[in-house]
Structure 1
Amino acid sequence: MHRRKVLKNLIQHGSAWVVLPLIAACSGGSSGSSKEYDLAAITDCADLSGLPEAEISKRNQLAYVEKTPIADNSCDNCQLYLPPTETRKCGGCQLFKGPVKPEAYCTYWAPRVDQG
């Protein structure tokens, strides 16, 4: 609760733009590497060479596989999937960094909820 009061005061007094990036850095917003992994910069969706080891480990812990073993459960119909865009050639996931194939799967698959 105290954190909320501090953030509210910072926003009200216009200081948030200075302090919030520092808070994010201290709370794990940056891994300390010299360059953040950028999915938009990837041109080969199978290339994991720039991905930090911690993110590869996270993919493995979630049992990510490039071809789903369950016919109706794949990344492209998962709520957590980030489809490719005009600026991002590869799909992604909200749970881990790196390219994600639409036909892939992990143990955290959740059915997409269409909003219409």
Structure 2
Amino acid sequence: HPSLEVDYEESEPDVDHEDGEVEWSPKQITDAQRVIHPGSPMFPKTVVAVERARLLEESLSRRDNPPAAVSEPQVITNAGVDEGVPPELLQPENRQHVAEPIL
């Protein structure tokens, strides 16, 4: 967005006149950009996680049935345990975490 860059350049001299307002506005803009742009180089993983969390929350709050995105990891883990996957394929840490909630 070249318009945002131009706004920043034009707003630089205004920083001396309005410190409080100018200090707050850039923070809000950067936070919005991080969330809106998933390909941001700063925290792509964080943004994706935030978007997924919001989608999951919205889908769970709107629909009683969990969407496919939510059921996929659960089905995969349950299927692996039900099918009796050899413990050699599963890491010790994963076996412990998986066994605790099931028991």
Which structure has the larger Rg over C-alpha atoms? 2
Please give the TM-score of this superposition, normalised by the length of structure 2: 0.29
Please give the TM-score of this superposition, normalised by the length of structure 1: 0.28
Structure with higher helix content: 2
